[in-house]
Amino acid sequence: MCSWSRLLLLGLLLILGIPVAHATHIVGGEMELQYRRGNTYTLTLNLYFDAINGNPGALDQQMTASIFDKANNRRMQNVVLPLTSNTFVQYTNPACTTSSLSTRKLVYTRDITLEENIYISTAGYYTAVERCCRNNGIKNIINPQNAAQTFYLEFPAVVRNGQRFIDSTPRIFPPLGDYACRGEMFYYDFSGQDADGDSLVYDMVTPLNGYSNPVSPSPTQAQAAPYPGITWAADRSTLNQIPGTPTLGIDSRTGRLTVRPSQVGLFVFGVRCTEYRRKVKIGETRRDFQLYVLDCPRNTAPSVQVYNGTGKRPAYVPGRDTLHLVPGGNRCLSIRFTDPDPSSRLTLTTRPVNFSGLAPSFTTVSTGMVRAAGVPDTLTATLCFPECQDTKGQVYLLDVIVADNGCSLPKLDTVRVAFTAIPPANTPPVLTTSFPAEAAGTSPVIVRIPVGGVYTATLTGTDADRDPLVLSAVGQGFDLAAAGMQFTAQNGTGRADATFSWQSSCEAASVQENLIVRFQLQETTKCTPVPLVRLVQFVVLPPVDTVSFLPPNIITPNGDGKNDAFELPTLPPDYCDGRFGGIKIYSRWGNEVFHSPERSFKWNGAGSTGMYYYLITFTNGRRYKGWLQVLP
pLDDT digits (tens, 9 = 90+) for 144-181: 989 999 999 999 999 998 899 999 999 877 777 788 89
Break the chain down into helix, strand, coil percent, rounded to 5.
5, 45, 50
Neighbours of 608 (CB within 10 A): 10
pLDDT of residue 550: 74
CB atoms near residue 559 (< 10 Å):
8
Q: What is the pLDDT of residue 548?
A: 59
Task: Say whether 507 sits in a helix, a strand or coil.
Answer: helix
Give DSSP secondary structure letters for 49-115.
Answer: EETTT--GGG--SEEEEEEEETTT--EEEEEEEEEEEEEEPPPSSGGG--TT--EEEEEEEEEEE--
**Under a CB-based contact definition with an 8 Å cutoff, are residues 616 and 586 in contact?**
no
In whole angstroms, what is the distance from residue 392 CA to residue 356 CA? 13
H or E element that contains 506: helix 506-511
Residue 391 CB partners (closer than 8 Å, separation 6+): 355, 419, 420, 421, 422
Name the burial class of residue 257, with classes exposed (0-12), middle (13-18) and buried (19+) by CB atoms within 10 angstroms of its CB: buried
What does the pLDDT read at residue 437?
83
The Cα 382–Cα 364 span in angstroms is: 6
The DSSP code for 395 is P
User: What is the per-residue pLDDT for 204?
Assistant: 97
Burial of residue 21, with CB atoms counted within 10 A of its CB: 0-12 exposed, 13-18 middle, 19 or more buried: middle
Which SS3 state, helix, strand or coil, does residue 305 take? Answer: strand
The string of DSSP codes covering 4-67 is: HHHHHHHHHHHHTT------TTEEEEEEEEEEEETTEEEEEEEEEEETTT--GGG--SEEEEEE
Phi, psi of 9 (to 5 degrees): -65, -40
pTM of the prediction?
A: 0.62
- Give the pLDDT confidence of 172-213 residue by residue, as tens digits: 777 777 888 999 988 888 888 999 999 999 999 999 999 999
How far is 185 from 242, CA to CA, in rounded Å? Answer: 13
Q: Give the DSSP per-residue string, 513-571.
A: S-EEEEEEEEESSSSSPPPEEEEEEEEEEPPPPSS------EE--SSSSSS-SB--TTP
CA 298 remoteness from chain centre: 42
Contact between 441 and 463 (Cβ < 8 Å): no
Dist CA 405 CA 319 (whole Å): 28
Q: Name every residue whose Cβ is closer than 8 Å to that of residue 240 and which is 6 or more positions away in sequence.
A: 247
Tell me, what's the pLDDT at 371? Answer: 81
408 preceded by a cis bond (ω within 30 of 0):
yes
Q: What's at 370, amino acid-wise?
A: V
pLDDT along the chain (632 residues), means of 10: 37 36 72 95 94 79 97 97 91 71 90 96 97 91 94 96 93 78 89 92 97 93 97 95 96 93 95 96 94 89 87 82 91 92 91 91 93 78 92 94 88 94 90 83 86 92 92 94 94 96 86 89 82 92 64 85 85 78 91 92 85 89 87 82
Give every strand in the sheet of 256-259, ordered side by side: 186-189, 256-259, 249-250
CA distances from residue 212 to 130, 185, 415, 527 in whole angstroms, order as listed: 6, 35, 50, 62
Round to whole Å and give the CA distance between 115 and 108. Answer: 22
Q: Judging by beta carbons within 10 Å of its beta carbon (0-12, 13-18, 19+), is residue 591 exposed, middle or buried? A: exposed
